[in-house]
Amino acid sequence: MDFVSKRKYFLGFSLIISILSIFMLISNGLNLGIDFTSGSTASLEFKEGDPGAGAILSELVEMGYSESVVQNIGENQYFIRTKDLGVNGLTDIKDALNELEESPVIILDNTTVGASIAEDTVKNAVIAVLVASLFVMAYIMYAFRSVSKSYRYAFSAIFALTHDVIIVLGIFVILGILINAQVNAIFIVGILTVIGYSVNDTIVIFDRVRENAISYPNKNLKNIINQSINESITRSLGTSITTITVILAMLLFGGNTLRDFLIVLLLGVIVGTYSSIFVASQILASWESKSLFFREES
């Protein structure tokens, strides 16, 4: 299949999805967890009866926690996210909820993050992503030093990596609205994993491009890229499908604890596989023809 000749469609589609993702990020924003906003969370269980999320939220509002979020996480079990409860806040909430159904409430777990810690988390998350990207660029330029203009490979990979992160973040905005998916510290771990997977998949194809460029020095690079994609696509898809199968199994049977992290991984594998074939390689081909925006070299 001639992937390179159809790159205007692939890159155009990616551009549209990226713009929509950026729009969602600006207009709605991510559903940030307490790791980034500070506050308290608690998981609790009613031993007898079930008052429902609405009744719990109403009780919290009456107590002055109007910004609280209440989510059902199982039979008679609820997750609460609210502002910093301080020393006695959780005890007061437990006492108030005990009276809803005259049912004893058990606190399964609780977490509190202060404002200063949340600020450090934001700063460290940004630094981690930037440092990872710089190391990726440096590694690719070094690994492909035997190929002419190796910086093109590095920048094409970084462009695809940025594309992947933006789209995953955009989809997570929607998931935050639909299923209350939260961005927390483990989400950043997921993003860094996505970066690693995306780059790995891209390097598999770029490495084949390098080998073919050395073997066929007089062949047009666009043709070499197309040949390399066709030679690598079965391996890339096979690896991705296997990884997706494992992640789906964990999502279905692993419970809610790692749900958001696994969703990030799932999205990252899908988008990363797409970008390595239809974005990174096509950017490299377009750069070679001195026409990033689809016009073929005369």
DSSP string, 143-199: HTTTSTTHHHHHHHHHHHHHHHHHHHHHHHHHHHHHH---B-HHHHHHHHHHHHHHH
Number of domains composing the chain: 2
- Does residue 121 form part of some domain? yes
* Residues 213, 140 share a domain: yes
Judge if 81 and 215 occupy the same domain: no
Domain co-membership, 241 together with 160: yes
The residue segments making up the domain with residue 104 are 39-113
pLDDT surpassing 70 at residue 255: no
pLDDT at 294: 43
Domain co-membership, 145 together with 232? yes
At residue 292, the pLDDT reads 52
Residues whose CB is less than 8 angstroms from the CB of residue 277 and which lie 6 or more positions away in sequence, other chains included: 3, 205, 229, 233, 236
pLDDT of 291 strictly over 70: no
State how beta strands 69-74 and 39-46 pair. Answer: unpaired
**What mean pLDDT is reported for the chain?**
84
Question: Which residues are 69's β-sheet partners?
Answer: 81
Q: Name the band, by pLDDT with cuts 50, 70 and 90, for residue 293.
A: very low
Shared-domain flag, residues 26 and 48? no
* Whether residue 193 has pLDDT greater than 70: yes
What are the two backbone dihedrals, phi and then psi, of residue 289, each rounded to the nearest 5 degrees?
-85, 5
CATH code (residue 73): 3.30.70.3400
What digits encode the pLDDT tens for the residues 95-137? 888 877 666 888 888 887 766 666 777 788 788 888 888 888 8
Residue 293 counted as domain residue: no
262: left (phi over 0), alpha (psi -120 to 50) or beta: alpha
Instruction: Tell me the three state secondary structure of residue 4.
Output: helix
pTM, whole model, 2 decimals?
0.78
